[in-house]
Structure 1
Amino acid sequence: MDLKIKHAAEIIKKIEYINIASITPEGLPWNTPVYTAFDKDLNFYWFSWKKNQHSINVRNNPNVFVTIYDSTVPAGTGTGIYFEGGARELTNPKEMIVGITAGYKRSKHKVRAAREFLKSFPRRVYRFTPEKAWINGDTDIDGNYIDIREELSLNNIKKVINARFAR
């Protein structure tokens, strides 16, 4: 398996926060870090207050861009994973349970019931499904360093991630 795919999978497994870039109803950019968990299909889940700006944005426009990276590494040594895809608020309890279980398992907290994310409760469960993925890299143009994005196979990332779930 490609080393970049393996490195991307390591970052996804290690980093517990994603940054969600969304668009406000007024067309303005909005970026939000959220604690996340993922499933074997590489769907990412988070819980947020239904009135948070990013929650409103996702309900208004499901097209989002997500990044994952380790911000603690020295300058020039970091690797970022970039995803384009769709996000939505989950309302089907069966779908919600997958995200709730993943989130609380990762955070090592007691799993809450799906009903605690519906109706008058303030928080909701959200799911991001990537459609494309990239990893950062570098090259040069006429001796000048530039950073680039290299597209990755989502299916190959899933294969490496699923090796984790098989253990």
Structure 2
Amino acid sequence: MNEFADTARALIAENKYMVLGTADASGTPWTTPVFFSPDGHRDFYWVSGPTTRHSRNIAGRPEVSITVFDSRCEIGTAEAVYMSATAAEVPADEHERALRIFNAKLDVARHFTVAMVREPDVFRLYRARVTEHSVLIGGSHPLNGKGHDSRVVVDLTA
């Protein structure tokens, strides 16, 4: 199972965008790609406007799903890590630390400052805290034995 956890870790480290899945109060789903920076494998940070659909959804329903994958790979070779998480706007007293993490994947010229993620500016800083990571095992993988792809939960704390 370590190979699957290693796959998940590599996908998180090597990719810049995640697909964020949210739902509104009535359960209507919405997905959107967002640039992200991880803090390890549990916390994922992004910047977004509070009036965007996904941000409004998070304000009313914090449970989210996340997928990270390399969309440039050949058909049939894709790998992805799927996550369940709870998301929210980062509290003001955590902005400096969280922005250091978020800005780490950005060119210096694109770094966000604390003032840029607070009113009256148009952006806010968000965090998703992952509660479960999983990957798909291909149907032909020797550990699968089912003949079709199957999802397996992986532990990224080890």
Same fold (TM over 0.5): yes
1:73 counterpart residue number: 73
| Post-superposition offset of 1:144 | 8.0
Q: What are the Cα deviations for residues 82-136 of structure 1, in whole angstroms up to 9, with x where unaligned?
A: 000100011323x222221122221122443213211211100000010011011
1:164 counterpart residue number: none
Q: Gaps (5+ residues) in structure 1?
A: 157-167
Q: Gaps (5+ residues) in structure 2?
A: none
SS in 2 for 1:106: coil
2:108 counterpart residue number: 109
How many angstroms apart in 1 are the aligned matches of 2:3 and 2:22?
Answer: 30
Structure with more of its chain in helix, by fraction: 1
Mapping of residues 14-33 of structure 1, within 5 Å? 14-33=14-33
| Post-superposition offset of 1:24 | 1.6
Q: Report percent identity of matched pairs.
A: 24
Which deviates more from structure 2 when the two are superposed, residues 18-27 or residues 112-121? 112-121
2:149 counterpart residue number: 147
Instruction: Check whether the contact 2:20–2:65 (CA below 8 A) recurs between aligned residues.
Output: yes
Distance 1:8 1:144, change over 3 A: closer
What is the aligned length? 153
> For residue 40 of structure 1, what is the amino acid of its counterpart?
G
> For residue 132 of structure 2, what is the amino acid of its counterpart?
K
